[in-house]
Amino acid sequence: MMNSAQSVYLRLFLFFVLITAVPLLAQPPKLEDMGNDAPRVFLDCNRCDRGFLNQDVTFVNFVRDRNDAQVHVLVTVQRTGSDGWEYTLDFMGQHEFDGMNDRLKYFSVSSDSDDEIRHGFSRMLKIGLMRFIAQTPLAQSIVISQKYTSKRAPSKVTDKWKNWLFRVSLRTYFQGQQSTNELFLGGAFSANRITDNWKIRLSMNGDYKEDVFDTGDEEITDISRRYRWNSVMVKSLGQHWSAGGYTRIFSSTYDNKDIEVFVSPAIEYNLLPYSESTRRELRFLYRVGPSYVKYGAPTIFDKSNETLIEEELSVNYETKQPWGTVEMELEGSHYFHDLSKHRVRLVGEFVLRVFRGLSLDFVGSVTRIRDQLALPMGGASAEEILLRRRELATSYRYNGSLRLSYTFGSIYSNVVNPRFGG
């Protein structure tokens, strides 16, 4: 027969066993316990918080290569008229789910925090995955709930701003040490109105930069200024055509322009319907118009001011597919008074998944330049060249970057471990 001390120890032992066992019984099934029941999902998204989604969407296996996935979720993003984002989620079934395709959209507004956006996106992702979960044994453990139900019919939205969105920003930057000081001041204002029929964008910005150098013998002050006004007005003319115009008022010490005023009507044709722009587009944009320029210093053509007529044609192609993204722009322009004064620019970006684990990223541009009418007659001083305060004569310009990466090993990418910050 147990004495009182043994009885107390036994009760304490049973108590600890009980409080330890209850949480274990209450834990949801782990992902590894789901085995092959959890669909393999490849999330093809550049603007997504993957760490959060790995923790929030726990009923699928995220994989790192689309060829291993049963569901490929391709996410494309476009800015909305309210300065928010439109996320288009294309769910494409593969292997066992081949032929099961869906499209959902999630909209954020400019006032949403990053946390609100990632929760809203995660909710839409879960909704889209339910069709595939329904084809697996996991469907038996899914619980669907609704947070709010309204019995009233939705009322018509009244917007007192009539779709206008305004933004004002100010910024500054400064640093210094014993022999140098730097001050930067900038400001911007924009007013945008985006509807199905009209697109209006108005923007104004200005920068002021001052550098002071103390050489010991003298103090040198360098000041640069840049101001710009842009406006675009576009009228929708169906699924393939648009018409509108541009205006620009510009001033820059770097470009040797006290003021430039440019006005041009424009027309655009999209070979593909605008409604498909989240996945692909091929646009041809033409514009022509006059510009008046007053130069800060006489140019190499001995001009203090002049009126010019400029013509421009650009072709833009973009496609976002399961195998990658391609964006290309070819642009050509010239002045009518002298057709030899022209410019041609080619810009390209390729993000390609060559085969399982191997990806190729390339971004680059090349420009042929024959239209530098604003170069000052006296050229640039050594200080202006070193400090990059003046545009320099050149017949070409190029830039590029290339990245080739190969990933191998485990196909899964579910685990998040934030220890040591990475």
Q: Is 59 a member of any domain?
A: yes
Report the percentage of the chain scoring pLDDT > 70: 85
Give the residue numbers spanning the domain of 263. Answer: 237-406
Cα–Cα distance, 278 to 320 (Å, whole number): 8
Is 57 part of any domain?
yes
Residue 28: pLDDT band with limits 50, 70, 90: very low
For the entire predicted model, the pTM comes to 0.71
Banded pLDDT at 33 (limits 50, 70, 90): low
The alpha helices in 249-332, defined as continuous H runs, are none
User: Does residue 161 lie within any of the structural domains?
Assistant: no
Within 10 A of 53 (CB to CB), how many other CB atoms are there? 22
Residue range 182-231, pLDDT digits in tens:
999 999 999 999 888 999 999 999 999 998 988 888 888 888 999 999 99
Q: In this structure, are 269 and 402 located in the same domain?
A: yes
User: If pLDDT is split at 50, 70 and 90, which confidence band does 52 have?
Assistant: confident
Instruction: Write down the pLDDT at residue 195.
Output: 86
Q: Which of the listed residues 88, 119, 138 is the one where a domain comes to its end?
A: 138
Report d(CA 181, CA 211) in Å as an integer.
6
| Residue 327, SS3 per DSSP | strand
**Mean pLDDT: which of 95-104, 159-168, 308-317 is highest?**
308-317
Give the least confident one: 41-55, 182-196, 255-269, 278-292. Answer: 41-55
Output the DSSP codes for 154-203.
PPPP--TTTTEEEEEEEEEEEEE-SSEEEEEEEEEEEEEEE-SSEEEEEE
Q: Are residues 247 and 378 in the same domain?
A: yes
Judge if 108 and 255 occupy the same domain.
Answer: no
Contact by Cβ (8 Å): 239, 208: no
Q: Convert the pLDDT of each residue in 273-309 to its tens digit.
A: 988 887 889 999 999 999 999 999 999 999 999 999 9
Q: What is the pLDDT of residue 27?
A: 46
304 inside domain? yes
Residue 223 resides in a domain? no
Domain final position from 96, 117, 138: 138
Domain boundary pick from 90, 105, 138:
138
d(CA 92, CA 72): 5
Same domain as 126, residue 256: no
Domain count, the chain: 2
Contact in structure between 392 and 314 (CB atoms under 8 Å):
no
Is there a domain that residue 143 lies in? Answer: no
The answer to whether position 63 is within a domain reads yes
Q: Provide the strand spans (E) within 253-304.
A: 257-270, 280-295
Instruction: CATH number of the domain at 53, please.
Output: 3.40.50
Same domain, 384 and 254: yes
Backbone angles phi, psi at 69, to 5 degrees: -90, 150
**Cα separation, 325 vs 347, whole angstroms:** 14
Tell me, yes or no, whether 264 and 399 share the same domain.
yes
Is residue 287 one of the residues assigned to a domain? yes
| Together in a domain, 253 and 400 | yes
